[in-house]
């Protein structure tokens, strides 16, 4: 992971399970189970720790307790696919109607508009 906030943002691998092995540093990792529970499973990983992210669930990782971490990720498919949640929703092309996003996420129209502009969905 890159230094200074090397976030691997919430994303989904639709066609693969991911396994992560931490080599250096400390990582905060997690995933959210499917509906209706949407239960957050998290763990702080140290060197030598391994974590499995199930296929199709939204997952993330970010260095914690210091500025960096080194990890190896392996996926159970040569073509795992990746959907970054925020990019898919706020950066779609053409953009999703802001009224839909405003209601779905209970955000103001200005916030939705800003997110769409930042992520390329409102060109």
The answer to whether the annotation marks 11 as part of a ligand binding site is yes
Q: Strand pairing partners for 59?
A: 11, 31
| Three-state DSSP string of 87-103 | HHHHCCCCCCCHHHHHH
The answer to whether the annotation marks 13 as part of a ligand binding site is yes
Q: Which residues are annotated as a binding site for oxalate?
A: 8, 13, 18
Q: Which residues are annotated as a binding site?
A: 8, 11, 13, 18
Q: Which residues are annotated as a binding site for Mn(2+)?
A: 11, 13, 18
């Amino acid at each position: 992971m890159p230094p200074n906030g090397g976030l691997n943002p919430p994303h989904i691998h639709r066609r693969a399970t991911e396994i992560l092995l931490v080599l250096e540093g400390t990582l905060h990792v997690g995933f959210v189970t499917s509906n209706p529970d949407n239960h957050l499973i998290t763990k702080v990983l140290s060197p030598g720790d391994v974590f499995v992210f199930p296929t199709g669930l939204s997952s993330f990782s970010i260095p914690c307790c210091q500025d960096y971490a080194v990890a190896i990720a392996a996926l159970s498919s040569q073509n795992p696919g990746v959907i970054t949640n925020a990019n898919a929703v706020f950066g779609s092309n053409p953009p999703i109607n802001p009224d839909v996003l405003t209601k779905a996420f209970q955000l103001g129209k200005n916030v939705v508009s800003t997110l769409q502009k930042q992520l390329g969905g409102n060109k």
